[in-house]
Structure formats: structure tokens, C-alpha cells
Structure 1
């Protein structure tokens, strides 16, 4: 009886092993894609099925070896654009019928990380290899690299030391806005009904938002993602902090199962998300060493746990309050040019909103899953209008709450901020130049605020007048 059970168990195990082997043996490497980011290079191997792999590095010369079990190469490796990457070339060899070895020859040492991904709505099975631009280990020594089986949501970049910002030497510095275009590279985000990719739309909006913010004296916008590459979520807020950001804005385009869903929305961090993030930061001794560096330059490394917790909680509470404030101003301005999904700022535990020291909002510019909104989101005119509504809300917030030591704070203290944005209905005999002079704004700012290509306006037309300052120079 027992012998029969053992025999059946053994037979089942053999069949299971054979099934796994067949699945692995059936996988082909169909294509290889490459993205270059400012501090890393990503290689993506598109597969016909799941595989197992092992990765290690060699030096003198620098190279990476990837053994892919259960795979065959079905695409050339010599057609990738390797300029501005640490990759000199790729070569491969079929070690046996079902085992492929890929060698990446390098011009410099890198820190590699690799993982596999399950199919999504755009891609099938994938093997992802990230090459971070960092010095390699001891020359001539084989170094095992991080290889993770399964399907992690995103690779985690090596921990970088927090940057202590230098003391402010000028009393009229710019207010810095970090503009983050969501997704990128291997992560396309939501896909519209005609193949419109969220990552492309939001990068265009982010670049237009940067342009408009930089037109305003006293403000400077910095892009977190400048091209089509992927950045891990926590790294995005780290980049914003290293740029000295006073505010973080993440731009997205929503998707829903129902194509009829429509409207723009704005998110801030939820109370629950804030509480969990405070606990995480307090538990992380490396992050505690220079936590509140984005705005207040407050170090927690010399504080006991209770005092550090109080300071961190105060910082998180202030940032969340500011996030809700600016979020409502942005939402109100967006409501003038697009339908809203919700008329109040929503709150959720989005990872990119969890910076304790930088007010942060996530702007959903519309539903890319809605055919009508997807079409509008691709047009330059609607992208300009969305960027204008966001930049107007940001200016309104900072004119009321300018950080100390900034040009906008100096204007306020000098009584030179007259009033915020207004509306004007064009009357007979009025021209754009006349209105610019009357409201003491530049023609360029008036055109930008109203998405005008020229100076032609019509009687009865409602114009948005941007915030007015009397001083153009300090």
C-alpha cells in the first residue's frame, strides 16, 4: 500500500518536472529593447514564455554574464543603439539545446540587478536587466549580482546618501517645483483605445508645465524624468529632494474598466499613508540622518527617537496640509478647462506622495481609457491648457505661502504682490496689448494663460489674467 503511494508520488513528481522543463524549453528570446536613463541603462528581453536565469559579473575586462535556462535566441543582438551607454556589445551562445548564455561587454563597471516580469496588456514575459552607473567590485574577481525570481513591481535602486542642501545665501532664491511625468520606459502606464500610451502623453504635459513655470520670475521647474526611461517610485522623490524642491507634482492620465469614465482629479497623501510612512522613516536609520532636507534642512541624527518622531510628524502634517491646499487650487483651475472626476482633492497612499518634507500632489489629467479624453490629451492645445491650470494653481499657492528667502517672499514683504489671477470679459475697443498694460502683465504671460497663438481677441471673450506683480526686477 505504502509502496504504491510512494510510486504514484514519484511518478507525479517526474511528470511535474517534465512539464516545467517543457514550459522552459518552449521559451524564445523574441526581441531585446534598451533604454538609457541619467544614471542607469535598462535592457529588456522579450520572451515567448517564462524562464529561469542566473546573472553574475566578471572584471578585467568588465562584463556581465546571464545564463537563461529554458530559452533559445530568436533575434539578433547587434542592432541595439548602444551610444551613451556603458555597453560595448552583446554576444550569445547556446550552451545546449535549452540553455542560452548572453554576455554583455562593458566599457565601465556597473551594478546590475535583474528580475522577470509576467505579461501585461502590452508585453509578454520579460527578463529585465538594470545596469546602474556605479563602480564595480574588486578587479578580477567574480561578483554575484542581485537576481530576484518572481515579479516585483519595480527594481529598487541602490540606496544613495541624502544630499544636505547648502545654506541659502540669497534672500531672493527661486521656488523650485519638481515635475514628475509618471511611468516611462518599460512601464507604458495606461493604454488608450487607439494605443495612446500614458507615459508619452504625461511627458509632453510635464515639459509644457516646466516651460510655463520657468516663464514666471521667481519660479524654477525641474523635470524628474526627462525622457522615455523608467525611474523607481521612491527614486522619484529622492531626485526631487536632491534638486531642492519646494513642491512635487506627479502627472498622470487615469484609466478605468469602463470607457465612459471621465474627468480630471487631484490626489494628496492619505492620513493612513502618512502614518505608515512616518513609521518607516523612523525605522530607517540611514534616512533619519538627513530627513527634512528639502525645505527646512533639519537633521534628525542627533535627536532621540521620541523627539525625532515629533519633528517628523510635524513635518508630515505641514506637508500634507500644504498638499491639500495647493491640490484644491490646481483642481479649481483645471475645472475651468476640463470636466472633473471629483470636485474635491482625493487622498490615497500613492508612493510618490510620501515625502515627509515636500508638499506633493498627483494630478490625473483625464481618463486615457475614454476615447474622447484620450484624443484631447494628445493635442498640444489641451496639453497647454492643462499645464496652465496646474501652473496657475501652484503660483496662487506660493503667492499666499512663499517659502522664506525666496523672491516671491520678498515681493510679498515689499507689498509688491498685487493680487492673484482674475478673469476679464473683453469689451468693444479693447486689445490684448491694452489689457496687458492695464493689468500690468506681459503680453507673453497673457497669451500663455489663455492659450492664444496671436493677439486677436473677440468681444465677449473671457480672458484669464495671471497673477500680477509690480516689480519685474529685485
Structure 2
């Protein structure tokens, strides 16, 4: 008996490791096209997949290898359009997620691509010969539910009972950053590639931990928190951008303490208490993306404001901000000027200066996506072709007996 117990004990950790290696299928959604249907599969990495067919009734399926389906993902969609009657999703076996399309017509074509930031597998199924029509449809629809939008959460700091920093003449940080956030949303609202969500669009108070919860709940692509800096030194000036990490830099600790509404002493004590958060796998996975995001936005902001207002560039820094701790996506915090500096308070009170800041943030966001997104090249295959091949491993299409 004891020998059996020891063997089981040794096998349990191995099963955990095996499960952790599998890709997570986080969410699945579909959009109707005039000639077919598009399915978007959100994953946590690049996936391998194979295609197969089943008869009576006519079905085509895609097996996502080495993957697990989240419990929250929808299991069945009733489509009933010109090509697809129903879409069903299930955990086919312990390491394969299967997506089945019940077809109304046997003459179909399909196209598959993989996207990054976030990772997605996109499957289009449409009537044979309908690819040209599909291309025209996608070009014409500037505002359409079938477009793959980037969801960006903009977080105007403070609000309501928390005014944030207050300038020499009474200008409040909460009002300045809210106006900048509203301007960013206005600038991007006509662009079909982006969906801008504000954590607040009016003068209300939202706890720090609730702000990233908003972004996590909608699986946002980016989280950007906007603030105005302050210092007891009225000559302190310029713009700076922060990443979430521990630092021993006294000035960065002071800024984080102010934004976290705690003392510098308490901030220093947090190093040991919150160190485990910074070492989490989720945070490590997003750190490189956050570095790129902060770099593109900061460079855009510093260049724009320097050219017009001779602002001082304080660079990209690291600090432990509560508001960034829970973010499950690339994130950064911006200090758009020193409201405690009389000259910069005057500028922050100027409509044109706030618009310049908003425009620079929009440019930085676009640069991030343009320069970091890499579309995986997946060959276009007709329905009678061999299984799709991705990555370096050949995927063999096996005959299946299931009716999933």
C-alpha cells in the first residue's frame, strides 16, 4: 500500500506540469459574414491545429492540439446563415479542443490566420468562390462587428472624493487627466481598429484595484493609467512613464507612494510583502510587452511636447503602483507633466496642450500595435486539401468516430 501511495504522489506533480504546458482556449466568439462566418479563438500562445471532415450531416472540424478549454467559453452557437447551421465547441480529449461547423452546403472554402497581442486563431468559412466578395465586404465596412478590434482601457487617475495633486492656483489632477482620456477616446472613436474604454468618464471615485478589474473583465489588450505629477520642489518638471516593478530609486518610490496614497515608509515596506506578485508568471509574460508599450508611448509623448513646449524628458522608469498590480495585459502609467510646477500647471490648464498630450498617446498606441504585431503566415487551403500545417510540427489528420 505504501509503495502505491508513493507512486501516486510522484505522478501528481507530473500531471500538473503536463497540464500547465497546454495552451488555454480563453474565449470563442463568432461573427456572421454575408458569405459565411468568422470564428475568433482567443488563446494564451501560438497553437497547432488540424482540419478534418465528417459526413451525415456535413461537418468540418478544427482540432486545436495540446490545449484546454476554459469553462467560461461558450459551447454552442446557433448561426443558421447561408453556409453554417451551428458551431459546437468541446474538449475532444484531454489535450485537444475541437471546433465543429455544421454545414448547410458542402461547397465551402476556408482561411485561417494566427494573430498576436493578444494571441488569436481566426477561422473564416464561406461559400466556394466567395473569397473576393468577402474581401470587398471587409474593405467596405469601416465600422463592423466582424473587425478584430483592439480594446484599450484608459484609466484617468483619481476622481470624485480623491482630487489627486492640486496645482498652485487650484487646478486638480483628476480634472486634467479625465479631459485627456476623453480626448483620446474621441480621437480614436472613428477608427474601426480600436475600442476605447474609460475606467471613468465622469468625476467619480473608483478604488485602485477596481480599475484593472474593468480591463481584465473585458480581456483588454492594453491598460494605460494617466496621471499628473507633483513634487515639493516647484521647479520639478517634465514627463515620465512608469512600468510595474520594484525600484530602489528614491524619486520613483516617492511618486508611487503619492499615487498609491500611502507614505514613502510604507512603500519601502511593500518590497517584501508584494515581491511575489512581481514574480508571478502572468506578470513575467507581459513584462516585455509592457516595456515596448511604455517605450512607444513615452517617446511619442516626449517628442510631441518637447517640440511645442520644450518639456523635460524624464524617461521610462519602474515603480510599484497599486493600479498596475492586477493588470493581466501590457500596462503602463503616465505622468503627463508636473501640476505642482507653476509653468506646467498653466500648460495643463490649456486646452491645446491637453490635446497635444492626447494626440501623442494615440500615436504611441498605434505605433505599439503596428511595430509589434506579426501576423502568422498560414496558407490558404480549400476544403479538399490536406490538413493545415503550423509551426514546425506536422499535424496528422486522423479519422474520428465522434459526432461532436
Q: TM-score of the superposition, structure 2-length normalised?
A: 0.49
Comparing both chains, which one has the higher relative contact order based on Cα–Cα distances under 8 Å and sequence gaps of 6 or more? 2
Q: TM-score of the superposition, structure 1-length normalised?
A: 0.42
Q: Which has the larger radius of gyration?
A: 1
